[in-house]
Each structure stands twice: as C-alpha cells, then as structure tokens.
C-alpha cells in the first residue's frame, strides 16, 4: 500500500544503496523459522500480518524472560507484622505449645502500589498530531536526497553509527523497521518527531515487545502518540512512558535503551512490576522535565542513584524491589524537589548520607530491607513535610535523633529490626499524627515517657522485643483507633492497663513475657472486636473473670500459661469454645498435673493445651 505511493523515494533508495559505504551492512534480515512462525500465524489471524518480518527479527533480539515478573511490594512480607486489612492475619499457635507463642508473620502493605498519575497534577492534554501525508517542511536540500540518506543522518544523532550497523541490536532493528516496514512510511524530511518514533520502536524491541500483555498500537501506522501507554503534549512530544499504569505488570523484559534520552519533554516513566534487567541508563540527566521515575519490582542492578543532575522537577524516584547495590550517592541531596524516595528491598550498603536532610520537600522515604549501617542522621529533622519513614530491617544503630520528633507531619514510622539503642524522648509526644509506630526488635531501654500517651491516633503500636522497663501507664482513655498493640518480650512491670480494653477497635493485644502482676481486669470483656489476647509468661494471679453472653464473641486466641492463676477456668469463657458461643480456638492455661499453682479446666473441650507439661487436650 505504502510502496505504491513512494516510487520516487524508492528510486532514490536504489541510487543511494549503490554507492553507500558507511552503511553497507544495513540490510533486511531474512525471516527466521521455528517457534517464531507460531507467533506470526497468531498475529496474521488477528489481522496484523504487517508485523511478520519485524517479529522475526525481534525474536532473535531479546530473549524471552526467564521468569515471570515478581510479585508486588513491596515484596516479601516481614516477620511478625500487622496488616491494614479487614482481618489481622495472625497465625494460630501451633498445637504443640511452646513457652512463647508468636503471632503471624504479616505486615502492612509495602510501597509497591502504583499510582496512575504522578504525585502532582500535570496540566496539558494528550493532543495527537496526525501523520503528514506529504512533505511540508525540511532542511535545505533534504527533499532532494534519498530517503535512506536522510534517515541515517537523522538517527545517527540519536544512536552511534557502530550500533546502528550491528544487525543484532534493537537500534538496528528499529532502523530497519522505520525504513522499510513502518506502515506509515514516514518522510524524515517532514515528520517532525521521526527521532521520537524511532526511539519508541527501539524501546519496544529492547523490552521484548512481542511478549507484552498489551501493546495496542505499537509499531502500527498510527501516530506514536496513540500507542498504548504513551501520552503526548500539544506539540506531539512524548510526556509519559507508561501513562495510566499501562506498562505496569505488562511483561516487559530485556533492558532499558539509552534512546529514551530523545524524549526531552518526558515527565513520567512508569514501568514497574516487569522483568527488566541491566542498569538504569545514564541518560536521565537529559530528561530535565522528568517528575516521576518508577521502575519498582524488576531485576535491575548497578548503582541505585544514577546521575540526576539538573532534574529540578523530579518528585518521585522509585526503584524498590530490584537488585541495586553500592552506597547511596550523597548527590541525591541536591534534588530538593524530591517528595518520594523509594529504594527499599535492594542490596544497598553503607551509611545514610547526611545530605538526605536537604530534601526538605520529602514526604515518603522508604529504605527498608537493605544492608544500611550507622546512625540515622540528625539532618532527618529538616524534613518537615515527611509523612512516612520506613527504614526497617537494616543494621542501623545509635539513638533516635532528637530532630526526628520535630517532624510533626509524620503518620508512619518504622524503625523495627535494626540495632537502635537509647531511650524514647519525651518529645515523641509531638508526633500527634502518628497512626503507625513500629520500633520493635531493637535495643531500646528505659521507660515510656508520659507524653507517649498523647499518641492517641495510633492504630498500630509495636514495642516488642526491646529492653523497656517500668509500667504501662493506664492512659488509653482518649485512644479510639488502636487495632494492634504488641508489648511482648520486654521488662514491663505493674498491672495490665484497664483502659486499653475499652478501646472499641482493639483486636490484637500481646503482653507476653514481661513482669506484669496483679489480676486480669474485669474490663477485658469490654473489647467488642478483640481477637487475640496473649498474657503468657508474666506474674499474673487471681481467677479468670466471667464474661456475659455475647462478649468476646470474636476471640480466637487466649494464652494464659506460665502465670499464677488459680481456681477454675470460668465456664462462660469455656462456652466460647465448648458450647459454640464464640470463635475461640486456642485456650492455653496452667492446667497440667505439675502446674503450681494450678488452674483447673473442668469443662470438657474447654482448654486446648495444659502447661507446664505441654500436653494437648483433645
């Protein structure tokens, strides 16, 4: 169809081919056979026979991915984590009791969710520039030259000629396509975005486009601005690569080509949850309009921070869940426009640079699951807009810098599974917007400051596995949102805080393995949605309070062993299990023959495990 209307151009091509030495090697590769023919046949049935030769070439170019794209983040779930879902996924205790039953290994969702737009609203419409049907503009003498000469001269400005001459490269295959197989038969003298069309073809070939889940429009006759996942501005220049999440989880593989540097108006790169390998091409610094760079959940490697000089519009840099290594380049502190810096779940080493504090517009900082060492810099206190700080599961040490407590916008802080030491400052009471605080599995000491109980918006509180001492103050009167509270494995003493059972949302309460004494308050039955109550490994005494019909109807785990309870297990509690009045599955008590003191468990089918003999009651 297009050949019929290009006789003049074809004559010029023949003349050029005869005397061309620089590109003597450029020729059309012959179609391959084998498994490729099955793919071609499928495309022919779909009316896409125009792709035949191109598919044959690309199949030899980029190998099929060796694995499916990794699952989203985030990412593997960290141990002993609450979730933000409707149900707290805590594993039931094993039937062979241990002295310290553990809750389930689950966590809140990690930052792998993919927004469909960048963090700020971008004006402008996706105006499509139609393909020209005849030359309208061009340089002096352009139209008098053979088409191939103009094409080569144009694309050599984008890709080195040695790469274009190599028939095994995606760049060469893209050149062959745009010269001979592009149904649009674009005129390099008049098609203003010829370099852009070539760069997108190179991207498609470099990332194994034939295997994409959705490649609507790609390498078809239509203007490249209409291709799936591409958005352009009013001048027909690409502004988004992966718009509206179209290229997320789309089975991209291969590598990112350096030809993306052509997209001078590019604001968004969003290609997460694929199987892209290699490193980030060191051309991002040329994309001065870039606002969002998202390559999370791929198999990229190399340095985490590439040259970002001049990207004063960059707001989001997301590279979590890849294989990046090395240290954090201090130059990251120069990109003061950053609002999101996510490089969790990689292999990054070294200390957190103090220059990070220069990022005064930072809102979410995710550095968890790496190999970071050293202290949390005091300069983190300069991030006054910071809402989420997640640096768990590293090897960080030292104390919490006082400046952190001045970041009053913080809603989520996760320092868990590090080696932090020291006490919790009285200034923590300034963080009144905190909804999620996890500092478990560290080496913190001392008492909880009185101001701690100002944190009444907390939904998740994890203090377990530290060296805290003192009492757990009965100051939960104004707390209305607490869902998960874990005080296990510390040195807390005194009595159980009665008002914590009055919180209408509390579902998970872990007090195991402390030095708590006194009795179980009668208010424990006030919790309408309480699911897990772990009191084992303390010095609690007295009898088990009765409950009313309908109370604790959602309770599934009640662990009371290794205490000093006496008397008989309350029949009303037994009815939650034995009579089917509730959901109770696990009731562990000191009802073994060697228990001293001993809590009798007389109701058949009530207690599920007796200690200290660790006998399981059928």
- Per-residue pLDDT at 291 exceeds 60: yes
pTM of this prediction? 0.78
- Per-residue pLDDT at 123 exceeds 60: no
- CA neighbours closer than 13 Å in the CB half-sphere of residue 346: 30
Around Cβ 443, how many Cβ atoms within 10 Å?
Answer: 13
Q: What is the pLDDT of residues 560-582, one digit of tens each?
A: 999 999 999 999 999 999 777 89
Confidence of residue 116 (pLDDT cuts 50, 70, 90): very low
Query: Alpha carbon of 486 to those of 337, 356, 368, 436, 453: distances in Å?
Result: 37, 31, 21, 12, 15
Mean pLDDT of 128-157: 65
Q: Which single residue is written with the structure tokens 């995606």?
A: 170
| Whether the Cβ atoms of residue 351 and residue 371 lie closer than 8 Å to each other | no
Mean pLDDT of 9-20: 42
Which structure tokens are listed for 456? Answer: 């009444």
Mean pLDDT of 457-465: 99
Confidence of residue 88 (pLDDT cuts 50, 70, 90): very low
Mean pLDDT of 219-243: 97
* pLDDT for residue 144: 80
Q: What is the pLDDT of residues 369-417, one digit of tens each?
A: 999 999 999 999 999 999 999 999 999 999 999 999 999 999 999 999 9
Separation of CA 581 from chain center: 41
* pLDDT for residue 145: 87
Q: Which residues pair with 485 in a beta bridge?
A: 461, 509
Percentage, residues of the chain above pLDDT 70: 76
* pLDDT for residue 614: 56
- Per-residue pLDDT at 143 exceeds 80: no
Confidence of residue 241 (pLDDT cuts 50, 70, 90): very high
3-state SS class at 460:
strand
Question: For the purposes of burial, counting CB atoms within 10 Å of the CB of 192, is it exposed (0-12), middle (13-18) or buried (19 or more)?
Answer: middle
* pLDDT for residue 616: 57
- Per-residue pLDDT at 91 exceeds 60: no
Confidence of residue 617 (pLDDT cuts 50, 70, 90): low
Q: What is the pLDDT of residues 477-506, one digit of tens each?
A: 999 999 999 999 999 999 999 999 999 999
* pLDDT for residue 579: 79
Q: What is the pLDDT of residues 209-226, one digit of tens each?
A: 999 999 999 999 999 999
Mean pLDDT of 349-364: 98
Around Cβ 490, how many Cβ atoms within 10 Å?
Answer: 25
Percentage, residues of the chain above pLDDT 90: 72
- Per-residue pLDDT at 346 exceeds 70: yes
- Per-residue pLDDT at 76 exceeds 60: no
| Whether the Cβ atoms of residue 611 and residue 593 lie closer than 8 Å to each other | no
Strands 347-351 and 371-374: parallel
- Per-residue pLDDT at 207 exceeds 80: yes
- Per-residue pLDDT at 50 exceeds 80: no
Q: What is the pLDDT of residues 247-258, one digit of tens each?
A: 999 999 999 999
Confidence of residue 593 (pLDDT cuts 50, 70, 90): confident
Confidence of residue 613 (pLDDT cuts 50, 70, 90): low
Length of the chain: 618
Mean pLDDT of 319-325: 98
* pLDDT for residue 595: 86
User: pLDDT higher for 144 or 315?
Assistant: 315
Question: For the purposes of burial, counting CB atoms within 10 Å of the CB of 90, is it exposed (0-12), middle (13-18) or buried (19 or more)?
Answer: buried
């Amino acid at each position: 169809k297009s050949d019929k209307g290009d006789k003049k151009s074809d004559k010029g091509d023949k003349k050029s081919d005869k005397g061309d030495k620089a590109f003597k090697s450029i020729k059309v590769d012959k179609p391959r056979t084998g498994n490729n023919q099955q793919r071609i046949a499928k495309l022919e049935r779909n009316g896409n026979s125009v792709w035949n030769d191109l598919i044959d070439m690309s199949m030899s170019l980029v190998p099929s991915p060796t694995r499916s794209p990794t699952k989203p983040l985030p990412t593997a779930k960290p141990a002993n984590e609450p979730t933000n879902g409707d149900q707290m996924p805590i594993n039931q205790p094993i039937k062979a009791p241990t002295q310290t039953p553990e809750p389930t290994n689950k966590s809140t969702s990690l930052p792998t969710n993919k927004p469909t737009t960048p963090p700020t609203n971008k004006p402008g419409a996706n105006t499509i520039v139609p393909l020209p049907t005849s030359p309208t503009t061009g340089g002096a003498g352009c139209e008098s030259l053979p088409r191939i000469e103009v094409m080569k001269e144009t694309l050599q400005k984008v890709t080195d000629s040695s790469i274009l001459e190599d028939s095994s490269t995606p760049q060469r295959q893209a050149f062959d396509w745009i010269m001979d197989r592009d149904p649009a038969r674009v005129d390099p003298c008049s098609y203003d975005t010829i370099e852009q069309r070539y760069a997108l073809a190179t991207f498609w070939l470099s990332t194994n486009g034939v295997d994409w889940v959705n490649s609507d429009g790609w390498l078809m006759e239509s203007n490249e601005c209409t291709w799936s996942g591409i958005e352009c501005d009013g001048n027909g220049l690409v502004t988004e690569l992966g718009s509206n999440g179209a290229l997320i989880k789309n089975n991209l593989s291969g590598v990112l080509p350096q030809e993306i540097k052509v997209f001078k108006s590019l604001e968004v790169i969003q290609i997460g949850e694929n199987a892209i390998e290699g490193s980030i091409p060191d051309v991002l610094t040329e994309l001065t309009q870039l606002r969002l760079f998202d390559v999370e959940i791929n198999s990229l490697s190399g340095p985490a921070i590439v040259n970002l000089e001049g990207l004063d519009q960059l707001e989001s840099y997301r590279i979590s869940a890849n294989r990046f290594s090395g240290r954090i380049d201090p130059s990251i502190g120069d990109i003061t426009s950053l609002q999101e810096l996510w490089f969790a779940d990689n292999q990054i080493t070294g200390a957190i640079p103090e220059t990070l504090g220069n990022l005064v517009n930072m809102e979410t900082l995710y550095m968890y699951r790496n190999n970071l060492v050293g202290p949390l810099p005091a300069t983190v206190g300069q991030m006054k807009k910071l809402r989420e700080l997640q640096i768990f599961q590293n090897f960080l040490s030292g104390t919490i810098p006082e400046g952190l407590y001045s970041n009053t916008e913080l809603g989520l802080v996760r320092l868990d599974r590090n080696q932090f030491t020291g006490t919790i400052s009285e200034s923590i009471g300034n963080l009144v917007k905190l909804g999620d605080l996890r500092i478990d599995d560290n080496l913190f000491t001392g008492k909880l400051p009185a101001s701690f109980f100002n944190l009444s918006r907390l939904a998740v509180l994890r203090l377990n596995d530290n060296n805290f001492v003192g009492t757990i103050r009965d100051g939960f009167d104004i707390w209305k949102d607490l869902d998960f509270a874990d005080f296990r494995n510390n040195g807390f003493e005194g009595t159980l805080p009665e008002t914590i059972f009055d919180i209408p949302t509390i579902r998970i309460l872990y007090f195991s393995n402390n030095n708590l004494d006194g009795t179980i308050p009668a208010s424990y039955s006030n919790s309408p949605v309480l699911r897990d109550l772990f009191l084992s490994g303390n010095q609690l005494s007295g009898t088990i309070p009765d409950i009313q019909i309908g109370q604790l109807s959602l309770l599934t785990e009640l662990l009371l062993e290794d205490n000093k309870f006496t008397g008989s297990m309350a029949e009303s509690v037994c009815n939650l299990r034995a009579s089917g009045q509730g959901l109770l599955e696990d009731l562990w008590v000191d009802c073994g023959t060697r228990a001293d003191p001993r809590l009798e468990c007389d109701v058949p089918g009530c207690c599920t495990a007796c200690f200290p003999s660790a006998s399981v009651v059928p």
